[in-house]
Chain A
Amino acid sequence: MKTTTFLTFVGDQCGKAKEAIDFYTSLFPNSELKKTIHYAEGEAGGTPELIKFGVFTLNGTEYMVSESNYTHAWSFSPAVSLFLESDSESELQGYFEQLSTHGGMVMVPFDSYETGDYGFGKKFGWCQDQFGVNWQFLLSEQSDS
């Protein structure tokens, strides 16, 4: 009973899941779209252009995805974000720049928030991408930079 993080694209994001997956898998190494099943003609919840269920990996972690054209009161929220800690500042800087631009936004700039040795890494950033998915990046204390 493995648990897998599942992204549901609704409202304005419904129809953009493939674009999002292509964007994410192009950014992160060791990433691929593994499977997509589209809705059948006339099926409730979507049209044949929409992804009913999909599986992809980012940086080796598996994610699931679905699009739904039902009217939902909710969409993505910052309460659940995707978090990556790394020793490579340039790698994290690259992810942050890509995800916070193209229609995304910076929530907390990727920067140092304290000069000394503190409990949560050397640099930190939080952004929301163009699809509404939230990301946190943390540069490890142990990094060389």
Chain B
Amino acid sequence: MKKQTVALILGILFFTISNAQNDTEMTESSQQNKAKGQLLTFLTFQKEDAEQAMNFYVSLFDNSEVLEVKRWGPGMPSKEGTIMHATFQLNGSLYMCSDSPPIHEWDFTPGVSNFVNCSNEAELEFLFGKLAENGQVLMPLNNYGFSQKFGFVTDQFGVSWQLNLQ
């Protein structure tokens, strides 16, 4: 896809986001807008599954919660009720996600992944098992020389994870 086309599509998408009139759902802890001033990682989904993915990740990690959700309204490019943008934290690290209309040629790649240092083997195996369900194992759990155990997996939503036990 030509660069200009990508820019145009993103521009149209954002123009629509900008004009949305939906109310924002906020949990109590998000009132101070934790995300402001902090560089965070933003995941763009194109299969209307951002909320499912976000809830899945929040369920897997301790100290994790959905902080803010803003939804697409009627007559917008993405399906009504899906995520326009949402903020969540996984064990204290902040993330955002969005359901984009499925118009982009790109999708998730392992180029940017989430690295998790696990505190014990049970945790490593639990997370790896959950993330590998309907996903794709890129490197099975094994000792690759740089740690006790390591695995690289792309989950069912296309997001990549590196799980490590020092």
Q: Which residue from B11, B38, B104, B113 sits with its C-beta under 8 Å from A78?
A: B104
Which of A59, A75, A113, A119 counts the most chain B CB atoms within 10 A?
A: A119
B110 at the interface (CB under 8 A from A): yes
Given contacts A1-B118, A85-B35, A107-B7, contact A10 B111 (CB under 8 A): yes
Given contacts A1-B118, A4-B93, A4-B114, contact A119 B17 (CB under 8 A): yes
| CB-CB nearest in chain B for A125 | B14
A96 at the interface (CB under 8 A from B): no
Given contacts A1-B91, A84-B39, contact A79 B158 (CB under 8 A): yes
B38-A108 in contact (CB<8A): no
Cα–Cα, bound, A5→B43 (Å): 11
Residues of chain B with a CB closer than 8 A to A119's CB = 17-18, 20-22, 24, 70, 84
Residues of chain B with a CB closer than 8 A to A3's CB = 61, 90-91, 93, 114-116
Cα–Cα, bound, A6→B116 (Å): 10
Which of A61, A81, A83 counts the most chain B CB atoms within 10 A?
A: A83
Give the interface SS of chain B, mostly helix, strand, loop or mixed. Answer: mixed
B146-A53 in contact (CB<8A): yes
Cα–Cα, bound, A113→B17 (Å): 9
Which of B41, B61, B90, B162 counts the most chain A CB atoms within 10 A?
A: B41
Given contacts A2-B91, A8-B113, contact A80 B10 (CB under 8 A): no
Which chain A residues in 35-71 approach chain B with CB under 8 Å? 52-53, 58-61, 64
Residue-wise, chain B 49-68 has the 8 Å CB interface mask toward A (1 for contact) of: 00000000000011000000
Cα–Cα, bound, A118→B15 (Å): 11
A120-B42 in contact (CB<8A): no
Residues of chain A with a CB closer than 8 A to B90's CB = 3
B132 at the interface (CB under 8 A from A): no
Cα–Cα, bound, A76→B114 (Å): 14
Given contacts A1-B119, A3-B93, contact A105 B39 (CB under 8 A): no
B10-A126 in contact (CB<8A): yes
Residues of chain B with a CB closer than 8 A to A106's CB = 7
Cα–Cα, bound, A64→B93 (Å): 14
Q: Which residues of A contact B (CB under 8 A)?
A: 1-8, 10, 28, 52-53, 58-61, 64, 72, 74-87, 105-109, 113-114, 118-120, 124, 126, 132-133, 136, 140
A-B CB contact pairs (8 Å), 7 listed: A3-B115, A3-B116, A6-B112, A8-B110, A74-B110, A79-B106, A118-B18
Contacts A7-B112, A79-B44 known; list 12 others, CB within 8 Å: A1-B116, A1-B118, A2-B116, A3-B61, A6-B114, A6-B162, A59-B39, A74-B110, A79-B107, A81-B44, A87-B37, A114-B15
